[in-house]
Amino acid sequence: MGDGIYGLDLDGRITFLNPSAEHILGHPRGALLGRVAHDAFHGPQDDGSAYPWTGCYVTEAIQHGLVSSAEEDTYIRADGSTFPVEITASPLLDEDRISGAVVVFRDVTQRHEVDRMKNEFLSVVSHELRTPLTSIRGSLGLISSGALVELTPQAERMVSIAVESSDRLTRLINDILDIERIQSGKLPMNLVPQDAAELLRASAVEMGGLADSAGVRLELVERSGRVLADRDRIVQTLTNLVGNAVKFSAAGGTVRLESFVEGKNVTFAVHDDGRGIPPDKLEAVFDPFQQVDSSDARQKGGTGLGLAISRGIVERHGGQIWAESELGTGTTVRFTLPRVRDLDRIDEGAPADAPVILVCDDDPSTVMGFSGILAKHGYRPEGVSTGAEAVERATLGRPAAVVLDMVMPGTSGAEVIAQLKSDRRTENIPVVVVSGTTAATEPSAAAAADNWLVKPVSEELLVVAVEAALDDRRREASVLIVEDDEDLARVLVALLSRHGLNVVHVSTVAEAVRLGTELQPRVIVLDLDLPDGLGTEAIDELRRRDELRHAAVVVYTATDMVSDMDGEPLADLSQDGPDGTVYLTKARVAPWELENHVLRLMDVMDERAGSSMGEHSEGATHVGA
């Protein structure tokens, strides 16, 4: 085999190498046997430090039995030179027992060189060709305008041909750069709510000149819906589709543009009455440099990249694009984009009780995109771009969940997770990882995360992962508010719900007993004066159920003092009571201060949940009445 292969025992020592491995690494036969592969030829990290054992594909295979495929690494030859490799690592199993690992590696120096040359070529195309083309086009414009010299009819025709050809070459360069950015995932996106009608209008205005010169009428039909999109990219997509429709329409024809709401999406459509597309070409026309007829490029112009670029843009938005056609009748190209419902417009703010989701990614467009999706589904997103900011905001704001990228400058995603889980204030906040790396690369972080998604992530997958993480937290983090003032209760529910807590409000003793038994809350916020009795009556009844003996209680009342059954006053209501119950006076403690007390008690109850009930029975919180 041309690929290198080596085997390892449970200590990571080399047990065998094939001749290709020894040749590629530059070592004489047998020289590497018995040495630790990690130390012998594993290249350092970009900053020069040793590659860590944690997260290494060899460690994953030996300790966890995980298979790593198509991972890239750097190896060191015997002469000290380094080279890039692509590896596949698998555990060696002996009757279901791991006895070591086998690694296959391939020298990808040539592939990297090709990538480097391609990047250099694109850089040349971007700058060295665009700059002179701009000068050429400007010069031709001056000449054709007659500002410099009066042209003969024949000269005007020649200049017109030159202008059209330079414009076509400019479009080709732009299309090549766009298709490369799409394929590499580097096409920037700024996703914000957009009115579909405005996107259609903008594309119609931009393509109006082309349509007029071809004798084709542009007609805007139904225009409904609001989408989460990058305006410039979607207008680019629509102009590509309209341009094709105009080119293949006869003079006097009509191209119709429309959009309409379908479920969670808005569907855009561009119709023409042209010659149509054969059934076997309906899918192929979306491939790069593909056209219905090989003569179209000469007769109609175009690069054959427009539909490929349109597909890439639409799919980056989480949508789909396709063509419907009948020969001799016409063609309709449709695409979908995620819908932003009127009640969930991001720029109008989420509901007051919407759970706060902290989104952390070093790519601002990713933060914007994820935030838009989450706001669309009823959450209140907050974006940060560094791990340090994520830890600070999570500690101070206590969000309902964190959506986190793993690869960031400075503090990495793994370090953020470790810090969150080591702090009592943030250890129970769910973390949903959305990263370009797989969970196998960060086993400890994966174990601590609630969900792990690999980019690119669809809207549905992101929302499902966040909802699942919140559902797990809500089941364990319930708050019962017993309050007969409806306005105050709404404020308290909004304040606490944004932390991902399951908050239930009741206004009577009877409801408190019934729902308290079903909900089994961790914390009870209690008003004493209720329409059908004292709040303490509800607590007494709930305390008789063993599963509620350790629920924390926050008495939040308008009275400055309360008394036990013997008439002896308890502590001032703004202080913690002697039995662990928190007593707060409404006139002295604002709702957001109550919020902090509840969150602190949730932390205490989470700590107690990890211990046996017997260890804390003497310190159980209760209200004497």
Q: What is the pLDDT of residue 625?
A: 27
Q: What is the pLDDT of residue 484?
A: 85
In tens, the pLDDT along 12-69 reads 899 999 999 999 999 888 888 999 888 888 777 766 666 677 668 888 888 878 888 7
SS3 574: coil
Neighbouring C-beta atoms of residue 58, cutoff 10 Å: 20
Confidence of residue 481 (pLDDT cuts 50, 70, 90): confident
Residues of the chain with CATH 3.40.50.2300: 344-473, 477-619
In tens, the pLDDT along 307-321 reads 888 888 888 787 899
Q: Please tell me the pTM assigned to this model.
A: 0.40
Q: Structurally, what CATH architecture does the domain formed by 192-338 represent?
A: 2-Layer Sandwich (3.30)
Domain boundaries 4-107, CATH class: alpha beta
The answer to whether residues 51 and 42 touch, using CB atoms and an 8 Å cutoff, is: yes
Rg (CA), the chain: 33
Q: Which two tokens stand for residue 451?
A: 């969900």
In tens, the pLDDT along 204-262 reads 988 888 888 889 999 998 888 888 788 888 998 999 999 989 988 888 899 999 999 88
Mean pLDDT over 156-183 rounds to: 77
Mean pLDDT over 173-187 rounds to: 68
CA torsion 115→121→126→132, rounded to 10°?
Answer: 180
Residues of the chain with CATH 3.30.565.10: 192-338
Q: Which two tokens stand for residue 160?
A: 């017109």
Q: Give the CATH fold of the 112-183 domain.
A: Helix Hairpins (1.10.287)
Q: Give the CATH fold of the 477-619 domain.
A: Rossmann fold (3.40.50)
pLDDT at 98 over 80: yes
Q: Which residues contact 356 (CB under 8 A, 6 or more apart)?
A: 379, 380, 381, 382, 397, 399, 400, 498, 499, 500
Residues of the chain with CATH 1.10.287: 112-183
Task: Look up the CATH number of domain 344-473.
Answer: 3.40.50.2300
